[in-house]
Structure 1
Amino acid sequence: MTQALALAYAGLAALPVLMHLAVSAGVPLGHLTVGGRFPGRLPPVWRALALVQAALLGTMAGAVLARAGIGASPLAALFWPAVALTLLSLAANAASPSRPERLLWTPVIALMAAAALGVGFV
């Protein structure tokens, strides 16, 4: 069960990772990130930050997988910080002034949070 939850977390995390990679490449999806501050293409600095966010999400997924016994075990030490960041992301997305961002990412991050908590407590 724990491994299935971890795989669900990683699969769900792939969605925002792909979106962040897309906006970093200049795809005009700014309305789905940073509160919709930039409705089209993100400015260059924000595009670079999107790459950082993609890497962070990938590391978080790796930590959840490691906690469940899948992947690199040194990342398991980052499990609870990854859970905390997931919960903070959930709050931020739920409070986003961008309605499209709220509607898309709040359910995804809520499912990620549930999966991570399941990994932590099952």
Structure 2
Amino acid sequence: MNELMPVLVVVFVAALAVLSVMQLALAFGAPWGSLAWGGQHRVLPGRLRVGSGVAPVLYVAFAAVVLDRAGWIDVVAEPVARVGTWVVFGFAALSVIPNALSRSRPERYVGTSVALLLAVTSLVVALGGATT
């Protein structure tokens, strides 16, 4: 599994990058609301736009923690990266539930798939630690 770790780290960060672009587009009024926040709005209302604008900040923190735990960067102490990666995994794993239960078919299929991808890749990093 250790030889797969670099690929999984790249997949994790790439998925967060795509989510960040999507969330920023939603924050600026893109008509992709069926993919996020319960899928009930074509264009998000103000309060959800704020949430979409904040989400990429959280995604950057998630990426930094996982990249640190994988040994690719060194921005936080090792115990913080170790615990932080488990927090990221927990967040991703828990996000599977609302995505899977969404009334919006696009959010159910796409959101659940992405959440599972993030959960699995962060779990592997949490279990495996540094790749370098």
Matching residue of 1:19: 22
Aligned residues: 121
Identity of aligned residues (%): 33
Q: Could you tell me which amino acid in structure 2 is paired with residue 73 of structure 1?
A: V
Where do 5+ consecutive residues of structure 1 fail to align? none
Q: What is the correspondence of 1:103-122 to structure 2 with a 5 Å cutoff?
A: 103-122=109-128
Q: Over the residues paired in the alignment, what is the CA RMSD in angstroms?
A: 1.5
Give the Å deviation of 1:3: 3.0
SS in structure 1 of the partner of residue 43 of structure 2: coil
Pick one of 39, 49, 52 that aligns with 1:50. 52
Normalized against structure 1, the TM-score is what?
A: 0.89
Matching residue of 1:97: 103
Q: Could you tell me which amino acid in structure 1 is paired with residue 55 of structure 2?
A: Q
My pick for the range that moved more, 71-80 or 55-64, is: 71-80
Matching residue of 2:88: 82
Q: Could you tell me which amino acid in structure 2 is paired with residue 56 of structure 1?
A: L
Aligned equivalents of 1:5, 1:119: Cα separation in 2: 8
Matching residue of 2:32: 29
Write out the 4+ residue segments of structure 1 that deviate beyond 3 Å after TM superposition.
Answer: none
SS in structure 1 of the partner of residue 62 of structure 2: helix
Give the Å deviation of 1:64: 1.0
Normalized against structure 2, the TM-score is what?
A: 0.83
